[in-house]
């Protein structure tokens, strides 16, 4: 099944429904359909074999996503925050790309002419899509529809290939067609190069829900749009959630239309979830867990799960507020030990997932699925007795101190509850005696000046002694990707440099 068909179905059900709103642009399903057909004509004329996009998204995302699909070519939205050099390197990895660039970024990647004639600015693409004859092909369901580069927090960016089948399996498996109410509107502020951005463009169209785009996130603008566009559902990454909650605490604003607020993309600290639940008791919160390689969401903690966990007096149930819920239909999960054997409930190990929406294929590497179709997420996880999934951290982030494996999240979950701690990341720094030592990088709460020994003692009281941080360092903020993933590698290299300086000075 091609993602093109999702748009065709939306038109068939209601051609006059407003599907996309982005600043002054408003498109009905029929208008989006006509633009995608003609956009395919524009792509065809260039002879391109892939379509790259450098820009902030908005209506350009669904327009290019469906134009590329109608042209039968893969679409690769790129991270516009990267340097020009990094962008050119990614573009060079795509087959004969047509590069579509928002005006603001033309200078960044150099004149479009430098890309071998395969460049066009977004406005010109849209203008030509109004005058070009349609040229529609039906791709094979196993053709690549979307290429997304991983953020590269642990290694060089990998190009994840998502086929039409992966994406349509995800959408048709998790969304009931036309299930939205006529007045429903989704506010989309995740960036276009993130899997949630691609997922949002497809899911909301299929559900029959108007997509309202916020291209440049600010909490105040987000709150304004929820009000003016009568937004009913929205998805944010943790950093955005923190800013929205702070904005609403500072300037209380009723959001009567908002029914569902989904968060995901990286781990959300529990104190923030509780703040959000207390502030917006009428809103249903959704924690979505997924990876680029799995075509977005594979597990969901529903609004009911949130309420039940928050109100329960049973510790096991309360803990689920920090879980990512249960697998979506069509997804199987298993947790395996180091030897690849499935483990029992309550025992941590590596999470494997399987299902039609799972790609696990990278350009130049091929498929990393095992013989039975399981994808290794490299996330450490644990299932409870009721099948709720808890993500403990990345297996690459595991600290090995004196031969003992330590998951940073275990220590972070404790420290972040300390009143004087705003944010924390725990990493392993190289150490001649222990191999690695545990370093907690702490961002103090506003106005607080916590004592390192007091924080160490706080951890020691709640966890085993071997989990006590060897060192506490304070920072004004943590380095993160634009979507809120902590760049642990950067913390480690800064710490390593600092330690070497200390050792060098000591030797003098």
Pick between residue 200 and residue 244 the one whose CB is nearest to other proteins.
Answer: 200
Pick between residue 122 and residue 203 the one whose CB is nearest to other proteins.
Answer: 203
Residue 361 gets the label, from left (phi > 0), alpha (psi -120 to 50) or beta, of: beta
Tokens 């939306």: give the residue: 10
Q: How far is the CB of 8 from other proteins (least distance, A)?
A: 7
Euclidean distance between CA atoms 333 and 309, whole angstroms:
22
**442, 476 in Cβ contact below 8 A?**
no
Pick between residue 64 and residue 261 the one whose CB is nearest to other proteins.
Answer: 261
The length of the chain in residues reads 508
Q: How far is the CB of 298 from other proteins (least distance, A)?
A: 10
Q: What is the CA radius of gyration of the chain?
A: 23
What ranges in 360-418 are assigned the alpha helix state H? 408-415
Q: How far is the CB of 174 from other proteins (least distance, A)?
A: 5
**280, 307 in Cβ contact below 8 A?**
no
Pick between residue 286 and residue 439 the one whose CB is nearest to other proteins.
Answer: 286
3-state secondary structure of 242: helix
**271, 417 in Cβ contact below 8 A?**
yes
Residue 187: both structure tokens together: 């506010």
**260, 204 in Cβ contact below 8 A?**
no
Determine phi and psi for 312, rounding to 5 degrees.
Answer: -75, 155
Pick between residue 13 and residue 345 the one whose CB is nearest to other proteins.
Answer: 13
Q: How far is the CB of 217 from other proteins (least distance, A)?
A: 16
Euclidean distance between CA atoms 19 and 16, whole angstroms:
9
Pick between residue 44 and residue 203 the one whose CB is nearest to other proteins.
Answer: 203
Residue 180: both structure tokens together: 């939205």
- State the angle between helix axes of 29-46 and 3-13 in degrees (0 to 180), rounded to the nearest 10: 150
> Sign of dihedral through CA atoms 350, 352, 357, 360?
positive
Pick between residue 209 and residue 456 the one whose CB is nearest to other proteins.
Answer: 209
Pick between residue 9 and residue 334 the one whose CB is nearest to other proteins.
Answer: 9
Residue 231 gets the label, from left (phi > 0), alpha (psi -120 to 50) or beta, of: beta
Determine phi and psi for 500, rounding to 5 degrees.
Answer: -65, -40
Pick between residue 281 and residue 476 the one whose CB is nearest to other proteins.
Answer: 281
Q: How far is the CB of 290 from other proteins (least distance, A)?
A: 8
Q: How far is the CB of 302 from other proteins (least distance, A)?
A: 5
Pick between residue 101 and residue 186 the one whose CB is nearest to other proteins.
Answer: 186
Pick between residue 204 and residue 395 the one whose CB is nearest to other proteins.
Answer: 204
- State the angle between helix axes of 164-174 and 3-13 in degrees (0 to 180), rounded to the nearest 10: 40
Q: How far is the CB of 61 from other proteins (least distance, A)?
A: 13
3-state secondary structure of 327: strand
Euclidean distance between CA atoms 336 and 338, whole angstroms:
7
* Residue 387 DSSP symbol: -
Q: How far is the CB of 173 from other proteins (least distance, A)?
A: 9
- Residues at the interface with other proteins (CB under 8 A): 1, 5, 8-9, 12-13, 141, 165, 172, 174-179, 186, 190, 196, 199-200, 203-204, 206-207, 209, 233, 235, 260, 262, 264, 284, 286, 288, 296-297, 300, 302-303, 328-329
**275, 285 in Cβ contact below 8 A?**
no
Residue 61: both structure tokens together: 């995302």
Q: How far is the CB of 65 from other proteins (least distance, A)?
A: 14
Q: How far is the CB of 152 from other proteins (least distance, A)?
A: 22
Pick between residue 1 and residue 133 the one whose CB is nearest to other proteins.
Answer: 1
Q: How far is the CB of 382 from other proteins (least distance, A)?
A: 22
Q: How far is the CB of 42 from other proteins (least distance, A)?
A: 25
Pick between residue 90 and residue 195 the one whose CB is nearest to other proteins.
Answer: 195
Q: Kindly report the CA angle at 52 between 46 and 57, in degrees rounded to 5?
A: 120
> Sign of dihedral through CA atoms 367, 369, 371, 373?
negative
* Beta-carbon count within 10 A of 93 CB: 16
Please report how many Cα atoms fall inside a 13 Å half-sphere around the Cα of residue 283, on the Cβ side: 27
Three-class SS of 258-269 = CCEEEEECCCCC
Q: How far is the CB of 22 from other proteins (least distance, A)?
A: 17
């Amino acid at each position: 099944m091609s993602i093109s068909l999702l748009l065709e179905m939306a038109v068939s059900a209601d051609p006059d429904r407003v599907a996309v709103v982005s600043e002054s642009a408003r498109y009905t399903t029929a208008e989006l359909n006509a633009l995608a057909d003609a956009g395919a004509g524009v792509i065809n004329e260039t002879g391109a074999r892939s379509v790259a996009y450098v820009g902030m998204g908005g209506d350009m995302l669904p327009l290019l996503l469906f134009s590329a699909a109608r042209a039968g070519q893969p679409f690769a939205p790129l991270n516009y925050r990267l340097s020009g050099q990094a962008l050119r390197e990614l573009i060079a990895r795509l087959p004969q790309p047509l590069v579509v660039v928002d005006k603001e970024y033309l200078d960044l990647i150099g004149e479009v002419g430098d890309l071998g004639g395969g460049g066009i600015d977004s406005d010109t693409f849209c203008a030509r899509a109004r005058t070009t004859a349609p040229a529609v092909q039906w791709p094979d369901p196993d053709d690549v529809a979307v290429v997304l580069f991983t953020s590269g927090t642990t290694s060089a960016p990998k190009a994840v290939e998502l086929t039409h089948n992966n994406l349509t399996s995800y959408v048709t498996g998790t969304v009931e067609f036309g299930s939205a109410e006529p007045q429903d509107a989704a506010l989309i502020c995740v960036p276009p190069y993130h899997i949630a951005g691609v997922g949002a463009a497809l899911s909301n169209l299929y559900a029959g829900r108007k997509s309202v785009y916020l291209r440049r996130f600010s909490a105040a603008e987000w709150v304004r749009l929820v009000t003016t566009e009568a937004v009913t559902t929205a998805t944010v990454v943790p950093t955005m959630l923190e800013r929205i909650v702070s904005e609403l605490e500072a300037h209380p604003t009723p959001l009567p239309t908002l029914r569902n607020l989904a968060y995901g993309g990286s781990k959300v600290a529990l104190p923030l979830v509780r703040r959000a639940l207390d502030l917006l008791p009428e809103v249903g919160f959704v924690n979505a867990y997924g990876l680029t390689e799995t075509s977005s969401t594979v597990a969901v903690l529903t609004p009911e799960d949130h309420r039940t966990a928050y109100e329960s007096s049973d510790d096991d149930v309360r803990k689920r507020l920090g879980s990512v819920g249960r697998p979506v239909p069509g997804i199987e999960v298993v947790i395996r030990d180091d030897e690849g054997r499935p483990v029992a409930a309550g025992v941590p190990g590596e999470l494997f997932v399987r299902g039609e929406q799972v790609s696990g294929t990278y350009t130049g590497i091929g498929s990393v699925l095992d013989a039975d179709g399981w994808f290794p997420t490299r996330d450490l996880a644990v299932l409870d007795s009721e099948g709720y999934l808890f993500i403990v951290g990345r297996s690459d982030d595991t600290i090995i101190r004196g031969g003992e494996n330590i998951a940073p999240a275990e220590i972070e979950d404790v420290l972040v509850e300390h009143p004087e701690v705003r944010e924390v990341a725990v990493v392993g720094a190289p150490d001649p005696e222990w191999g690695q030592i545990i370093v907690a990088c702490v961002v103090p709460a506003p106005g607080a000046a916590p004592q390192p020994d007091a924080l160490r003692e706080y951890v020691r009281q709640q966890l085993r002694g071997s989990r006590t941080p060897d060192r506490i360092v304070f920072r004004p903020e943590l380095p993160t990707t634009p979507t809120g993933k902590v760049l642990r590698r950067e913390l480690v290299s800064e710490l390593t440099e600092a330690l070497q300086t200390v050792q060098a000075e000591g030797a003098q």
